[in-house]
Amino acid sequence: MALTNGPSKKTLSDQTYDFLRERILNDVYPAKRKLPSVRETAETLCVSRNTVERAYQQLLAEGYVRSKEKSGYYVEDFDKDAVPPAGKAFVPREGQPAEDVGQPYVDPGTPYDFCYANPAPASFPVDVWRKLANAVLYSPEAQLVNTYCNPFGDYDLRCELARYLFDSRSVACRPEQVVVQSGIADGFDRLLKLFSPRDDRIAFEDPCLSVARAAIVGNRFETAPLSVASPQRFFDDLERSSAKLVYVTPSHQFPTGFTMPLASRIKLLEWAAANDAYIVEDDYDSEFRYKTKAVPSLHALDGDGRVIYTSSFSKTLSPNLRVSYWVLPPELMERYRERMAVFPCPASWLNQRVLYHFLAQGHWERHLRRYLTLNKRKRAALLDACDAAFKGALQLSGTNAGLHVWAKLEGCTSSRELIDAAAAAGVVVYPVDCFYCDAARSEPGAFILGHSKIEEEDIRPGIERLRDAWFR
């Protein structure tokens, strides 16, 4: 018998390995039997002895055979039925991939996608980013690519973030209080290491960002949902919760879009101080305000060190950068250093360095101004198109900020029917029931309309197609 490279992509040693492995699994070489010598196998297969020796070493490494000094190789005794056949590979299904946690799968060919999370495809500053990345990689600092990053994140970047947060959000902090993470889920997972699932209950807005709730539940904490239907219900739920950590999105509640009133902010801070609790303020899209200046952050009102501030670059640059940042109160920062200093920073070193230069050289402010202007036009186009197409039948809230609006169609009793009818017409709008602890409590006829991804010129025809799909 002769092996051949022929059309096979496998090397001769791999083919030899496959030949021997198959014979072992088929009991041609039963357990405890000695394999033919290297020379015999080489002659049988018409290959070199080195090729056979490499195959035997691979079988030895994987536990199919054992080596006996000055004697040869012997087949191990194991359950051969438990070993899958060689070459059995995973073959993905055609069409829609398996459903993942997060936004529903959207066919790239869908004409109108009112996505609320992904930035516009052409918005990323590719040329500037490429130049900065090349500058980093061809500079002396590139030697750091082979070292473990500071566990709290690149210090220069943390200094720039502290400056930016003070200028833009009135968040007063030292760079040492800033911790770089790789997203809200990862950051929450690490933050929760500072609390005890046995002793500490965690409260969160209901509805809220599903990935935040999943991180809390995944760490086995007892939870307490806080209804955002009214301030009264929110604080009634909060008083009953006995929570030690509360997750909120006060500047632009996700997904309903409302802004927490100043009186409620002050009351929440007073509650935290009185109950020795902390508040996670997720300021996920505060850069996008269209009619007024950004409202001050909750952190800016905090005089007792109760607010943990977090945001990211996912909405403004790219979700695939995987860079978020958390500002911890001094007491929690000490606890974080004690427990988390052994873990490397999860964010890419190169992305952190490029992002530092992007901020320090002024590219960030210029990019943000352009992107805010673009989304201001898209927001206006969305509101005008909805008004013209639905004549007041579509209620919109959260229209002054963010990259999405909360929409509710008057007289509709099923959001799912709306979404399915839209999809059949080539339009994607997004459900809200997944953001509730109990999907049955979601508002009938409610859904999310985003404008972050869709092109400006596609907004009006997309809304008109929605109208036609729902009012045929």
Token match 């399915």: residue? 420
Contact assessment for residue 340 and residue 151, using Cβ atoms and an 8 Å cutoff:
yes
In a shared domain, residues 154 and 19: no
Does residue 343 sit in the same domain as residue 215?
Answer: yes
Answer whether residue 106 is part of any domain: no
417 and 447 fall within a common domain? yes
Same domain, 220 and 298: yes
Give yes or no for a contact between 149 and 179, defined as CB atoms under 8 angstroms apart: no
Is there a contact between 404 and 450 (Cβ–Cβ < 8 Å)?
yes
End residue of a domain, out of 314, 332, 361: 361
Task: Extract the runs of DSSP E, i.e. beta strands, from 313-397.
Answer: 324-327, 394-397
52, 35: one domain: yes
pLDDT at 144: 84
CATH code of the domain in which 443 resides: 3.90.1150.10
Q: What is the pLDDT of residues 448-469, one digit of tens each?
A: 999 999 999 999 999 999 999 9
- Are 345 and 417 part of one and the same domain? no
363 φ, ψ (degrees, to nearest 5): -65, -35
Residue 136 lies in a domain: no
Tell me what the pLDDT averaged over the chain comes to.
90
Identify whether 127 is part of a domain: no
| Boundary residue ending a domain (319, 344, 361) | 361
**56 within some domain:** yes
H or E element in which residue 152 lies: none
Residues 440 and 351 occupy one common structural domain:
no
Question: What CATH number does the domain containing 74 carry?
Answer: 1.10.10.10
* Number of structural domains in the chain: 3
**Half-sphere exposure of residue 398, counting CA atoms within 13 Å on the CB side?**
28
Q: What pLDDT does 102 receive?
A: 47
- The answer to whether residue 94 is domain-embedded is no
- d(CA 174, CA 197) in angstroms, rounded, equals 29
Residue 196 falls inside a structural domain: yes
Same domain? 372 vs 339: no
Identify which of 297, 316, 184 has the alpha carbon closest to the alpha carbon of residue 251.
297
CA dihedral 264, 270, 273, 278 (to 10 degrees): 0
Q: Report the CATH number that the domain containing residue 344 is assigned in CATH.
A: 3.40.640.10
Give the domain-ending residue among 318, 345, 361.
Answer: 361
pLDDT tens digits for range 367-382: 999 999 999 999 999 9
Same domain as 163, residue 24: no
What is the C-alpha separation between 154 and 180, in angstroms, rounded?
8
pLDDT range class, residue 7, cuts 50, 70, 90: low
Residue 346 included in any domain: yes
The answer to the question of residue 89 being in a domain is no
Question: Which residue in this structure is represented by tokens 């195959």?
Answer: 55
Structure-token match 């049988």, residue found: 44
Which pLDDT value is given to residue 4?
61
Find all residues with CB under 8 Å of 278, minimum gap 6, and list them: 244, 245, 246, 272, 306, 307, 308, 329, 332
Cis peptide bond upstream of 121, omega within 30:
no
Q: Domain range holding 148?
A: 142-361
Q: Which tens digits make up the pLDDT trace of 71-99?
A: 999 999 988 888 877 655 555 555 545 44
3-state secondary structure of 134: helix
Closest C-alpha among 324, 291, 207 to residue 254: 207
pLDDT tens per residue, range 119-151: 888 899 999 999 999 999 999 988 888 888 899
Please check whether residues 312 and 186 belong to one and the same domain.
yes
Q: Given strand 243-248, what is the order of strands in its sheet?
A: 178-181, 324-327, 307-312, 278-282, 243-248, 201-206, 223-227
345 and 377 housed in the same domain: no
- 232 and 165 in one domain? yes
